[in-house]
Amino acid sequence: MVSSAADRPYTLRFVRHLCADPNPEGPGYREIVMPTSLDGRRKGLFHAAHPGSYARIEALALGGGGLKLAARVWPTLPGKGRQALVSIDVDGAAIRLEVGPHGGAQLRLGAETVAVDAPMLSRRWYAIEAIVDVAGGRLSVTQTPLEPVGTLVDSGRGEAKAKLRPLSGTARVLVAAALEGDDVIAHFNGKIERPRVATLNDVAIGEWDFSQGIPTQRVIDIGPQAAHGQLVNLPTRAMAGSNWTGAVHDWKSAPEQYGAIHFHSDDMGDCGWPEAFALDVPREWPSGFYAAHIKSEAGEDYIPFFVRPAKGAAKAEVAFLVPTFSYQVYSSYWRPERSVEILARARAWGALLETPGYNTQFGLSTYNYHADGSGVSITSMLRPQLDTRPRQMSLHDPAPKGSGTGRINCDSYVVDWLDRAGIAHDVLTDHDLHEEGVAALEPYRVVICAQHPEYHSLRMIEAFERFLGQGGRLMYLGGNGFYWRAEPSADAPHALEVRRAEGGIRVWATEPGESYNQFGGGYGGLLRRVGKASHKLVGIGFSTQGRHLGFPYAFTDGIRNPRVRFMTEGIESAATPGARFGDSGFMGGGAAGFELDSADPKYGTPPNALVVAKGVVIHDDYGWVNEDMLIHRHPRPREEWSCADMTFFETASGGAVFSVGSMTYVGSLPPENYGNVCARLTTNVLRRFMDPRPFA
């Protein structure tokens, strides 16, 4: 799907990336042009993006009498412009129950408006009711606080006489937005519970119970017409309602207390653009990192995709697992200062220039807050993810010759390394792993995890466990991995949900009672909190983070252990206890940095885990992770947690795990043409892991 500003034509070609880093002094950008019949000049069309979530009910029959509209609401931005609560369009008439421009409830019908003078308070519940009395010629609206403050008047009523005509026919109903022609406008920010349309005698015509179907994108009408509706742009469900008592935290055990949906004017789901072109990937294309490169007079973009081996084709022994869950969870991270910081260098390097900072129409990342101050918990793949591209930098690297790469760009160092070492490999993605479980991993002897595989569903963790239990070998070449739970939606598979509950380094936290996922209903937050600490899986876990700087590792006595003799082949003289390595690199200038993982038996590091090297980072900017801090002092000496522990252990059935525990590690593979100690040690590990001989 392509939108081209001003309908400019563009040219299309496809490339395979061996190294996507645009740094002219970096490892060397390598793309291979992959000719297709689609290549060449194409017609461009502009398509807009329309953020803002709402519910849409296509057909509700109205009988011609008066109407009573009601909802309970928890506004988060009252006073910030007109925001629709319940909008009804019928027979040329537009009925609007809304938060008025000054924050009080109001009802509009044609030229008539009745409003409550007193504004609602932010983040408090109100019952709103409006009456359209056709026969009596009267409109009214009332606003009743459900959590009265006492000293402040935030209730009220507005009423006026009006000449009204009967309202009958098939109505279109929107909740949390309004129609204006074909446009959807006046998006509401806040929670809405149980919107209702009734007769003046209070007989329900339509009544939507949001506590039903919480994991879905459907809203259920419990009224006589069963006029169910559809949610648009992924609002947040499983939200504590006006009746939440605090006695339950899991919406599944008392759904009736979770009848609220939180809508945001900046929610984004499916852009809904038409297909611009479709490629049948030629069977002979090798598995790997690919992109569709589009270029117009105004700019260019690389749209990434990952190609697995053709069905039935021979598989390599090694699979590189592309962390597409983490890519998606991070994507569209609005960081305006970052956009400015990298612009001059991106220009000089011929890197992609667009960022989410310049394109807020595509919505936000789960690292952002919504405009109303609530954390973003849902992220969609059906939109341009402008910061998840090849040929792109993520930050202004402070190191000389540093690339400042992230995601696809730094993960391509692994591809480049494998390619130069002549090691055949396939790629597969997190999304494949979630979908297929351990079957996605089973064909491979070795699975390599990338620079920052931070987010996983429970199914994915279980797949890793089974893979290791069957003798699989796992190389984890990153940091802050296997940290948060991210769950996809069954009926909106383009969406992932992250609830930032309890501990964890995080930019926002869940509200009380709202830590269970709407997708699947599991407990959200750190994988550690659901018994899946990364220490158990890969021997180490996230324990410190700081600025994007890189520091060396030093070998420990562990490197002399005969169990890991294979690691030091050809680098025996460099691999001695105390010797430093990984002191150069294109990410921060060293192999240990940014976000680091250390071993800790308390959280599940296996007793046979051997730390062969440590990248200790004692630096003012490197702090602890808050889930380890129970009092004002850290329970362990700093050297034990402010470090990357390079760890090896054997598993049942002859398998093994190798973990590096640092986010800048892969940037230290390329120096010396992938011939430095860091790269050679990593290659040694991979070659031994590819060897079918079981580990003792």
Contacts to Fe ion by CB under 5 A: 454, 480
CB atoms within 10 A of CB 688: 19
Instruction: Please tell me whether residue 622 adopts helix, strand or coil conformation.
Output: coil
Q: Give the shortest CB-467-to-Fe ion separation in angstroms.
A: 23
> Closest distance between Fe ion and the C-beta of residue 548, in Å?
12
CB of 569 to Fe ion, least distance (A): 33
Q: Of 355 and 365, which has the nearer Cβ to Fe ion?
A: 365
Please choose, from the candidates 195, 193, 191, the residue with its C-alpha nearest in 3D space to the C-alpha of residue 236: 191
Residue 462 contacts by C-beta under 8 Å, 6 or more apart in sequence? 437, 438
| Rounded least distance, CB 561 to Fe ion, Å | 31
Cβ atoms of 102 and 94 closer than 8 Å: no
Give 53 or 326: the residue with its C-beta nearer to Fe ion.
326
Least distance CB 663 / Fe ion (angstroms):
8
Tell the residue number behind the tokens 């885990």, with chain if given: 609
Nearer to Fe ion, 366 or 651 (CB): 366
User: The tokens of 351 are what?
Assistant: 């890197």
Phi, psi torsion values for 687, nearest 5 degrees:
-65, -40
For Fe ion, the closer of residues 374 and 545 by Cβ is: 545
Residue 104 near residue 61 (C-beta atoms within 8 A):
no
**Given the complex with Fe ion, which of 164 and 414 has the nearer CB atom?**
414
- Least distance to Fe ion, CB of residue 449, Å: 14
* Nearest residue (CB) to Fe ion, 457 versus 480: 480
d(CA 59, CA 93): 15
Q: Pick between residue 178 and residue 486 the one whose CB is nearest to Fe ion.
A: 486
Cβ closest to Fe ion, residue 145 vs residue 375: 375
Question: Please, what is the minimum distance in Å from the beta carbon of residue 480 to Fe ion?
Answer: 5
499-538 per-residue burial string, b: 16 or more CB within 10 A, e: under 16: bbbbbbbbebbbeebbbbbbbbbbbbbbbbbeebbbbbbb
What distance in Å separates the CA atoms of residue 226 and residue 57, rounded to the nearest whole number?
10
How far is Cα 493 from Cα 216, in angstroms, rounded to an integer? 11
Nearer to Fe ion, 158 or 406 (CB): 406
Q: Give rounded-to-5 percent helix, strand, coil for the chain.
A: 20, 30, 50
DSSP-derived 3-state class of residue 681 = helix
Q: Which DSSP state fits 71?
A: E
d(CA 351, CA 403): 11
Q: Which is nearer to Fe ion, 265 or 480 (CB)?
A: 480
Contact 451, 477 (CB under 8 A): yes
- Residue where the block lists tokens 């006595």: 557
- Contact call for residues 583 and 631 (beta carbons, < 8 A): no
Between 251 and 455, whose beta carbon lies closer to Fe ion?
455
CB of residue 454 to Fe ion, shortest distance in Å = 4
DSSP assignment of 128-190, as one string?
EEEEEETTTTEEEEEEEESS--SSS---EEEEEE------EEEEEEEESSEEETTEEE----E
Q: Give min distance, CB of 194 to Fe ion, in A.
A: 38
The 3-state DSSP class for residue 59 equals: strand
Nearer to Fe ion (CB atom), residue 432 or residue 454: 454
CB of 177 to Fe ion, least distance (A): 33
How far apart are the C-alpha atoms of 120 and 87, rounded to whole Å? 19
What's the min distance (Å) between Cβ of 455 and Fe ion?
Answer: 8
Minimum distance between the CB of residue 330 and Fe ion, rounded to whole angstroms? Answer: 7
Nearest distance in Å: CB 82, Fe ion: 38
Complex with Fe ion: residue 21 or 454, whichever CB lies closer: 454
Both tokens of residue 102? 């000054």
Q: Contact at 8 Å (CB) between 113 and 130?
A: no
| Closest residue to Fe ion, based on beta-carbon distance | 454
Q: Pick between residue 419 and residue 454 the one whose CB is nearest to Fe ion.
A: 454
From the CB of 452, what's the least distance to Fe ion, in Å? 6
**Are 97 and 71 a contacting pair, CB within 8 Å?**
yes
Q: CA gyration radius for the chain?
A: 28
Angle between helices 677-690 and 407-420 (to 10 degrees): 70
State how beta strands 484-485 and 455-456 pair. parallel
Residue type, 113: T
